[in-house]
């Protein structure tokens, strides 16, 4: 079977892979429910980011507050959701409060857009602005008229400075601190993606990224990749208070009916039959050209299988 694909706007084509925890009574309704409300969750975070060729290459999002609650309930099962949206800083949570005055693991939500060396991040969180300002000044930072702190030249860091000594080599060259949010980036132009009004040119309105995000729904963790060549892929995990889990993958395709047949065959074969056992495939009615796979997850399954597959670059093979 020939399965032709293109990077046409996702308003026309999208593919969704969803997994539901077998013991969640409300899981089916969640998987088939209405798309997320603009202004909340992933879509709401993207609405505040200006879409550019660089900012849309890679999106990483975490509902950090939701993940904290999940980790408190079962750290082993939900450990794979930790750090999304602030992956560059996740390993430094213990030292960051002393260095910069806040811990990203205490955020409500986290979003990172772009990819190294050019990216920007937004942490929605309660923050002591004066305390963070004092920490940034102690790092040698200079506060500009816009309220943005500059701790060093774009993409450069003092190898003998406290950030480098702590293993943090990028991301704090440009920092803006406000009540309720910290935005930071390794370069000034990238910081503008998340500090200047996006208007109608936001990532939420982007015909590819926005539709992929709508396809993912209300997620606790997600990654959306739109490479310059190759297949755009979005992966995420929906979670419910009772532990029910829905794992989601979205890709664009111009022939969804043929793709459903192809994905069904792949789900019945290794490695996907072992990775997503018991998965089924259908096509939801609310997005043109969308195929959906539902994969039950047993209570002892570690959550985040599709995120791991995304990190390994394996997800496109589900659609080949």
20: pLDDT strictly greater than 70: no
Is 122 in the same domain as 194?
yes
205: pLDDT strictly greater than 80: yes
Mean pLDDT of 56-74: 96
**Beta strands in the chain, from DSSP E residues, in sequence order:** 15-20, 58-62, 109-115, 118-124, 142-143, 148-150, 174-178, 181-185, 221-225, 233-239, 245-251, 280-282, 292-294
Residue 98 makes CB contacts below 8 A (sequence gap 6+) with none
Q: What is the pLDDT of residue 141?
A: 94
Is 249 in the same domain as 169?
no
279: pLDDT strictly greater than 60: yes
Last residue of one domain, picked from the residues 199, 225, 252? 199
Mean pLDDT of 32-36: 43
Mean pLDDT of 301-312: 92
Is 227 in the same domain as 180?
no
Q: Residue 79 domain-assigned?
A: no
CA nearest to 249, candidates 187, 294, 283: 294
Last residue of one domain, picked from the residues 184, 199, 214? 199
126: pLDDT strictly greater than 80: yes
**pLDDT cut 70: percent of the chain above it:** 86
Last residue of one domain, picked from the residues 199, 234, 262? 199
Q: Residue 300 domain-assigned?
A: yes
Is 209 in the same domain as 195?
no
Q: Are strands 280-282 and 292-294 parallel, antiparallel or unpaired?
A: antiparallel
Residue 61 makes CB contacts below 8 A (sequence gap 6+) with 42, 45, 84, 85, 109, 110, 111, 112, 219, 221, 222, 223, 236
Confidence of residue 284 (pLDDT cuts 50, 70, 90): low
Evaluate whether 148 touches 195 at the Cβ level (below 8 Å): yes
Q: What are phi and psi of 276, to 5 degrees?
A: -125, 65
Mean pLDDT of 149-168: 91
- Provide the 10 A C-beta neighbour count for residue 117: 11
Q: What is the pLDDT of residue 39?
A: 64
Confidence of residue 6 (pLDDT cuts 50, 70, 90): very low
Mean pLDDT of 77-89: 94
Q: Residue 53 domain-assigned?
A: no
Is 226 in the same domain as 254?
yes
Q: Residue 64 domain-assigned?
A: no
Q: What is the pLDDT of residue 295?
A: 72
Q: What is the pLDDT of residue 51?
A: 98
Please count the structural domains in the chain: 2
Mean pLDDT of 109-116: 96
Is 192 in the same domain as 208?
no
Q: What is the pLDDT of residue 18?
A: 42
**pLDDT cut 90: percent of the chain above it:** 58
CA nearest to 15, candidates 203, 205, 216: 216
Is 38 in the same domain as 133?
no
Residue 221 makes CB contacts below 8 A (sequence gap 6+) with 61, 62, 63, 67, 81, 84, 85, 236, 237, 304, 307
Model pLDDT for residues 171-203, shown as the tens digit of each residue: 999 999 999 999 999 999 999 999 999 999 999
Is 212 in the same domain as 227?
yes
Q: Residue 54 domain-assigned?
A: no
Q: Residue 69 domain-assigned?
A: no
Q: Residue 72 domain-assigned?
A: no
CA nearest to 186, candidates 163, 160, 153: 153
Q: What is the pLDDT of residue 15?
A: 41
**Centroid of chain to Cα 186:** 19
Q: Do you find a cis peptide bond into 117, omega within 30 degrees of 0?
A: yes
Q: What is the pLDDT of residue 235?
A: 93
Confidence of residue 241 (pLDDT cuts 50, 70, 90): confident
* Sign of the dihedral defined by the CA atoms of residues 149, 155, 160, 162, in that order: positive
d(CA 279, CA 237): 15
Mean pLDDT of 33-38: 46
Is 121 in the same domain as 144?
yes
d(CA 90, CA 88): 6
d(CA 182, CA 177): 5
Where in the sequence is the domain holding 253, given as residue range(s)?
1-47+204-320
Q: Residue 133 domain-assigned?
A: yes
Model pLDDT for residues 132-148, shown as the tens digit of each residue: 999 999 999 999 988 99
- Provide the 10 A C-beta neighbour count for residue 129: 14
Q: What is the pLDDT of residue 35?
A: 46
Is 97 in the same domain as 159?
yes
- Give the residue, 260 or 49, on which the prediction is more confident: 49
pTM across the whole model: 0.87
d(CA 184, CA 261): 44
Residue 204 makes CB contacts below 8 A (sequence gap 6+) with 38, 43, 44, 46, 47, 49, 210, 213
Is 176 in the same domain as 224?
no
Is 152 in the same domain as 208?
no
């Amino acid at each position: 079977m020939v399965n032709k694909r293109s990077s046409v706007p996702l308003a026309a084509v999208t593919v969704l892979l969803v997994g539901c925890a077998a013991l969640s009574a409300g899981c089916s309704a969640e998987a088939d429910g209405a798309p997320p409300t603009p202004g909340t969750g992933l879509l709401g975070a993207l609405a505040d980011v200006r879409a550019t060729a660089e900012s849309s290459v890679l999106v990483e999002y975490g509902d950090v507050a939701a993940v904290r609650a999940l980790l408190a309930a079962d750290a082993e099962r939900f450990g794979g959701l930790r750090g999304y949206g602030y992956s560059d800083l996740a390993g430094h949570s213990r030292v960051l409060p002393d260095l910069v005055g806040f811990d990203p693991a205490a955020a409500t939500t986290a979003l990172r857009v772009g990819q190294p060396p050019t990216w920007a991040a937004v942490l929605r969180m309660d923050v002591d602005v004066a305390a963070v300002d004092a920490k940034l000044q102690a790092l040698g930072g200079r506060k500009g008229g816009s309220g943005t702190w500059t701790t060093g030249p774009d993409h450069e860091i003092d190898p003998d400075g406290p950030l480098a000594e702590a293993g943090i080599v990028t991301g704090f060259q440009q920092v803006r601190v406000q009540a309720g949010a910290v935005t930071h980036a390794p370069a000034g132009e990238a910081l503008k993606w998340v500090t200047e009004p996006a208007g109608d040119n936001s990532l939420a309105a982007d015909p590819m990224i926005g539709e992929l995000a709508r396809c993912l729904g209300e997620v606790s963790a997600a990654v959306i990749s739109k490479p310059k060549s190759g297949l755009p892929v979005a992966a995420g995990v929906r979670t419910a208070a009772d532990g029910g889990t829905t794992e989601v993958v979205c890709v664009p395709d111009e022939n969804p009916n043929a793709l459903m047949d192809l994905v069904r065959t792949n789900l019945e074969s290794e490695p996907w039959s072992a990775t997503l056992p018991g998965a089924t495939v259908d096509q939801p009615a609310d997005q043109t050209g969308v195929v959906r796979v539902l994969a039950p997850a047993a209570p002892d399954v570690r959550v985040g299988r599709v995120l791991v597959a995304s990190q390994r670059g394996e997800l496109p093979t589900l659609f080949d």
